[in-house]
């Protein structure tokens, strides 16, 4: 855990820092927002910032967003003025912590950030085998490619490997290659010099340098543009990078973990992904099973999420009733662990009984239908007489609409069905995440309501 404390806090800064240090955090103190931004640009990253409420939280949030630096902010101060706390939350702070600091509260804040949904449950045999392989290769510096459907826990596995490695004292830095536009991803990875492009107001250390001594996760690496794939290959081979706008070579010392929910061998055959890069990344492959392929883990995960969200929302913890358990086990979970997590979040909030009742488990009926049809297609064809299609409001309802309108409706409905998860929606639609992102940007410009989780 890397904690950045920004501000003076009237002498309590040292106390908060000492508490965090005792809890195992690495603490960096910056006097003001300018110093903090300078430290972040120079690669002194942080997993969490505790900021004096007297500083402009809104200004900090805005500048972090402008430079694509993702760091949760906790406002804190000695003032008992509740309006200051409310203003900080409205400006973008995740939480407000009163000072003098309470050790238990500081510990709870650090634990909440450090958790990051990193709990690894692997009771099912299919998952146990993967975990055994992960334990075996984690101590090495071998590059790892983690594959699996969207929502199967690839980033959680990446963090698990990092914690089990000899680099666990270093940073774990994650970059979502699908979420960052192509023209910005190069700078995000390799950094840039002042004036390298419009908006480059100062030198910025990239994720390769920031992860020095630790692990760099390239999430959804399959969505990286071909031009950047070549630069990534060189960085892995030569163990050096060059910042945008510079000719100076910077040596790097990191372990690479990459993830993808696509079949990279097929992407190579289609010319969408470099074959040489694929072999560089795929030194060791961990293929995570879908949740439906590890059925004995469904209930332990469901209870874990129910307990977590009960605590997060300040509601009573509840066990899952036997009828609700049966409902959870019979569902195909196309959205995997992420869908289960969202389902249990809703369930714990709306449950009315002493135990979570089946009615609180809201599941997609279309998923049941798809699962039942695909599970036994031969039996369906042999035993079910031909029936005319019954689809009120289907094709007939599309008559008179343009192709663009139909496409827009399909994309937005699919995104909503996938609970706002763009990667999952893109896979269902059969398009790349980049294409989906461009479509959604167009819809936003037209003031469409876009549900992105």
**Same-domain status, 246 and 303:** no
- Per-residue pLDDT of 199-215, as tens digits, reads 778 888 899 998 999 99
With a CB cutoff of 8 Å and minimum separation 6, the contacts of 27 are 3, 4, 5, 17, 20, 21
168 assigned to some structural domain: yes
Mean pLDDT of all residues in the chain? 83
Among residues 316, 341, 368, the one where a domain terminates is 368
Comparing CA positions, the residue from 347, 307, 298, 305 lying closest to residue 325 is 298
**Same-domain status, 89 and 198:** no
Among residues 368, 395, 413, the one where a domain terminates is 368
Q: How many domains does the chain have?
A: 4
Confidence band for 79, pLDDT divided at 50, 70 and 90: low
The range of the structural domain enclosing residue 233 comes to: 126-289
Greater model confidence, 191 or 107: 191
Confidence band for 110, pLDDT divided at 50, 70 and 90: low
Q: Does the bond joining 66 to the residue before it have cis omega, within 30 degrees of 0?
A: no
- Per-residue pLDDT of 277-305, as tens digits, reads 999 999 999 999 999 999 999 999 999 99
pTM reported for the whole predicted model:
0.66
393 assigned to some structural domain: no
- Per-residue pLDDT of 301-313, as tens digits, reads 999 999 988 987 8
75 assigned to some structural domain: yes
List b or e across 310-330, with b for residues whose CB sees 16 or more CB atoms inside 10 angstroms: beeeeeeebebbeebbebbee
- Per-residue pLDDT of 208-249, as tens digits, reads 998 999 999 999 999 999 889 999 999 999 999 999 999 999
**Same-domain status, 221 and 247:** yes
**Same-domain status, 64 and 157:** no
The whole-angstrom separation of Cα 223 and Cα 23 is 38
**Same-domain status, 256 and 145:** yes
Query: Residue 14: which CATH number?
Result: 3.40.50.2300
- Please give the structure tokens belonging to residue 128: 């146990």
Query: Residue 316: which CATH number?
Result: 1.10.8.60
């Amino acid at each position: 855990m890397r904690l950045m404390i920004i501000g003076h806090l009237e002498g309590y800064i040292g106390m908060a820092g000492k508490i965090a240090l005792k809890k195992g955090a690495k603490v960096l103190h910056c006097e003001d927002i300018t110093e903090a931004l300078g430290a972040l640009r120079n690669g002194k990253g942080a997993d969490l910032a505790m900021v004096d409420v007297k500083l402009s939280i809104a200004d900090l949030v805005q500048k972090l967003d402008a430079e694509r630096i993702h760091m949760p902010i906790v406002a804190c101060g000695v003032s008992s003025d509740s309006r200051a706390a409310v203003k900080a939350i409205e400006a973008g702070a995740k939480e407000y912590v009163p000072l003098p600091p309470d050790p238990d509260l500081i510990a709870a804040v650090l634990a909440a950030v450090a958790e990051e949904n990193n709990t690894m449950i692997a009771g099912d045999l299919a998952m146990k085998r993967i975990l055994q392989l992960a334990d075996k290769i984690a101590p090495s510096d071998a590059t790892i490619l983690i594959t699996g459907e969207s929502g199967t826990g690839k980033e959680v596995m990446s963090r698990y490997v990092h914690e089990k490695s000899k680099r666990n004292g270093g940073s774990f830095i994650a970059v979502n290659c699908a979420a960052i536009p192509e023209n910005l991803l190069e700078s995000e990875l390799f950094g840039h010099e002042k004036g390298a492009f419009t908006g480059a107001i100062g030198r910025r250390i990239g994720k390769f340098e920031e992860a020095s001594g630790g692990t760099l996760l390239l999430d959804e690496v399959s969505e990286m543009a071909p031009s950047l794939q070549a630069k990534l290959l060189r960085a892995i081979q030569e163990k050096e990078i060059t910042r945008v706008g510079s000719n100076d070579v910077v040596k790097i010392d990191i372990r690479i973990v990459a993830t993808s929910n696509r079949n990279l061998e097929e992407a190579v055959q289609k010319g969408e992904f470099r074959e040489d890069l694929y072999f560089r990344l795929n030194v060791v492959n961990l293929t995570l099973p879908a949740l439906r392929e590890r059925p004995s883990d469904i209930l332990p995960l469901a209870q874990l999420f129910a307990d977590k969200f009960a605590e997060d929302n300040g509601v009573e913890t509840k066990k899952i009733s036997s009828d609700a358990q049966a409902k959870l086990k019979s569902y195909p979970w196309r959205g995997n662990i992420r869908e289960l997590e969202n389902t249990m979040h809703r369930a714990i909030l709306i449950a009315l009984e002493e135990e979570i009742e089946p009615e609180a488990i809201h599941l997609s009926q279309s998923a049941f239908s798809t699962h039942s049809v695909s599970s036994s297609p031969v039996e369906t064809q042999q035993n079910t007489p031909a029936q005319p299609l019954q689809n009120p409001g289907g094709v007939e309802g599309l008559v008179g609409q343009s192709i663009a309108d139909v496409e827009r409706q399909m994309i937005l409905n699919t995104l909503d069905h996938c609970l706002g998860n763009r990667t999952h929606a893109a896979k269902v639609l059969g398009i790349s995440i980049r294409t989906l992102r461009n479509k959604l940007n167009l819809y936003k410009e037209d003031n469409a309501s876009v549900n992105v989780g």
